[in-house]
Structure 1
Amino acid sequence: MTFQPRMTSHREGITVLEDLRWRRWNGAVADLWHAACDAGAHGEYVSQDARLFVLLEHTGSDLELKLGPSSREVPGAKAPQHLSFVPAHMPLWSRMDGPMTLRHLDIHFDVTTLATRLGEDLDAGRLATPRLRFTNARILGLAQLIAAACEDPDSHHELYGDALMLALFIDLMQLGRTTRRKRGALAPWQLRRVTDFIEANCLRSIRLQELADLTELSQSYFSHAFKAATGLAPYQWHMKARIEKVQDMLVDADMPLTEIAAAAGFADQAHLTRVFRRTLGETPGAWRRANRA
């Protein structure tokens, strides 16, 4: 079933200035809002799903945030741009003492799908702990790129926004390379079937359900078993296979980098270069020169 954010809200003195712009990826929905607020404007919001509120820019008075109508304002950053993580089912109240305009991004997380995709057991305590008005330059930078993808949905390949959202969620949940209890790994025939399928289809988006179906396992069990067998989450193996295809094209073909990026499913040459450098430590052009000399 397609993930649909479930949020109820009550607002007074707040006017939406533009049509909502939004994007959906596998495990999250991002909404971009632009609004004007009167003096004394306020709102109450309750989401059934965990979400990240990102204040991208505002003019006028400060935005007050708290976890209930009678609670004290939660202390935090007074910076013009800040972030707030709101756990599922937790109410958030906002109030503006004076007139203001604001542009903000809401990212609603399908936590079950994201945990399955990442092959990680997420920290329940972290998911249940609100973090209001905090700053983090890396998360904010990723959120700004996601907002740009909402504004111009045709400017990038779907995988571009999907990768940004996953990176943001990994940073937000502070997921790292930790030693975890080993789970049962895929059987050799299952692993071979899945890796052969990824190899043959790596230049397109591959749904997790497609891979799970090949092994006759649930998505959650498959993700853990695949990571136990390979040390990588399925999406990481998929990206590794795409980069290997790019390496083949760099060596065997005289295609310009722009054409290679398009053929490999990247948004553009810059997107390919970022992923390639992050994976191999050098640019595609430098790697080609070193391996075709």
Structure 2
Amino acid sequence: MTTTLQILPRVLQSSADRGWNALSAALVHIPRGLSNVRGVDVHTLAMHVGPPVNADCFCDGTRLRRIQKPGDLAFVPAGFDSSWEDDAECQILRLGLHPSLLEQAAEELRGDPSKIDAIPRLQLHDARIEAIGFAIKADLEADTPSDSLFIDHLASALAIRLIETATDRRPDSKGYKEPRLSPRQLKLLNEFIEENLDQPLRLADLATLAGISVTWLKTLFRNSTGTPVHQYVIRRRVEYARALIATTKTPAREVALAAGFANQSHMSTTMRRVLGVIPGDIRRPD
């Protein structure tokens, strides 16, 4: 009789110290062998990111033997036990999403959260989820983390796409009319963002200011401005930094902090991406 040894994964990188609220992420190395995974209180999405391996997967009475390749996905809802046996060591990106995130996304899609039942998907192929996963992986591996608003945006997009691919029904949007922020709400948010560019800006704080949920903030802000919250904040930080450089003799490192960037390098990289210039290209006052 052959005995299969239970193996333990090793976390290579984690979001635990990055202040992420909407989701958790870990880049995990898994040795060859069997992994029995007990159900947890969050939905788990695993994306294969290493060399291909042969895998034997089991969850909720369903067994699947497959070759796992980079970008292949598996979704295990909260509370479900699962097992995975690989014929070689592998690497996965493991994401954890609280069920409330999918419920909020269901509301955003005008659905009834009570009717959105997550189901296990042991072999999920979706280019959009894959792109979100690799964006999260890139942020985990970056020396300078992205603004938390960007991660919240990715989490929201991920939750919406999971509703469309890993639940037993889709919300009905027939007859829906696009809502927007009121002029007063938009004014309050704009003023708050401008006054706090040098501070971490969190969706929860902005939603409280506007008197709405985080989910509705993201939807209404995008509908009202044509831009997601995180992109709007990044552009305002870049434009504020450019104005400081062009009108004052403040050292670049102090400009970066005043505009809410982690450091001077972070400001330069973001400015190049958004404006196509770096701080050194901007003429200083005489």
Task: Report the TM-score, using the length of structure 1 for normalisation.
Answer: 0.66
Tell me the amino acid that sits aligned with residue 231 of structure 1: G
Q: Among 211, 230, 233, which residue is 1:238 paired with?
A: 233
Q: Among 120, 123, 128, which residue is 1:132 paired with?
A: 123
Equivalent-residue separation in structure 1 for 2:155 and 2:204 (angstroms): 23
Corresponding residue SS for 2:195: helix
Cα separation, partners in 2 of 1:13 and 1:270, compared to 1, 3 Å: same
Tell me which protein shows more strand as a share of its residues: 1
RMSD after superposition: 4.4
**Is 1:15 equivalent to 2:4 in the alignment?**
no
Deviations 1:207-246 (A, max 9, x none): 2232233233343444444334333333333223212212
Corresponding residue SS for 1:26: coil
**Identical positions, percent:** 19
Structure 1: runs of 5+ lacking an equivalent:
1-10, 150-154
Q: CA deviation at 1:14?
A: 0.8
Equivalent-residue separation in structure 2 for 1:213 and 1:244 (angstroms): 26
Q: Among 85, 90, 93, which residue is 1:95 paired with?
A: 85
Q: Does the CA contact (< 8 Å) of 2:46 and 2:94 recur in 1?
A: yes
What is aligned with 2:167?
none
Q: For 1:243-254, what aligned pairs fall within 5 Å after superposition?
A: 243-254=238-249
Q: Does the CA contact (< 8 Å) of 1:49 and 1:109 recur in 2?
A: yes
What is aligned with 1:3?
none
Q: Does the CA contact (< 8 Å) of 1:28 and 1:109 recur in 2?
A: yes
Tell me the amino acid that sits aligned with residue 206 of structure 2: L
**Is 1:54 equivalent to 2:47 in the alignment?**
yes
Deviations 1:43-62 (A, max 9, x none): 24534433331334469x63
Q: Does the CA contact (< 8 Å) of 2:75 and 2:124 recur in 1?
A: no
Q: Does the CA contact (< 8 Å) of 2:32 and 2:85 recur in 1?
A: no
Tell me the amino acid that sits aligned with residue 51 of structure 1: T
What is aligned with 1:163?
150
Equivalent-residue separation in structure 1 for 2:72 and 2:151 (angstroms): 16
Q: Among 58, 64, 68, which residue is 1:72 paired with?
A: 64
Cα separation, partners in 2 of 1:120 and 1:238, compared to 1, 3 Å: farther
Equivalent pairs, count: 262
**Is 1:108 equivalent to 2:96 in the alignment?**
yes
Equivalent-residue separation in structure 2 for 1:140 and 1:15 (angstroms): 23
Q: Among 245, 268, 278, which residue is 1:284 paired with?
A: 278
Q: Does the CA contact (< 8 Å) of 1:146 and 1:161 recur in 2?
A: no
Corresponding residue SS for 2:39: strand
Corresponding residue SS for 2:236: helix
Q: For 1:213-224, what aligned pairs fall within 5 Å after superposition?
A: 213-224=208-219
Tell me the amino acid that sits aligned with residue 231 of structure 2: Q
Equivalent-residue separation in structure 2 for 1:25 and 1:82 (angstroms): 23
Deviations 1:10-40 (A, max 9, x none): x9511345698442413111134334344xx
Q: CA deviation at 1:94?
A: 0.8
Corresponding residue SS for 1:53: strand
Q: Does the CA contact (< 8 Å) of 2:144 and 2:266 recur in 1?
A: no
Structure 2: runs of 5+ lacking an equivalent:
163-174
Q: CA deviation at 1:254?
A: 4.0
Cα separation, partners in 2 of 1:12 and 1:262, compared to 1, 3 Å: farther
Q: CA deviation at 1:204?
A: 1.7
Cα separation, partners in 2 of 1:70 and 1:241, compared to 1, 3 Å: closer
Q: Does the CA contact (< 8 Å) of 1:142 and 1:164 recur in 2?
A: no
Cα separation, partners in 2 of 1:65 and 1:267, compared to 1, 3 Å: farther
Q: Does the CA contact (< 8 Å) of 2:22 and 2:155 recur in 1?
A: no
Task: Report the TM-score, using the length of structure 2 for normalisation.
Answer: 0.67
Corresponding residue SS for 1:193: helix
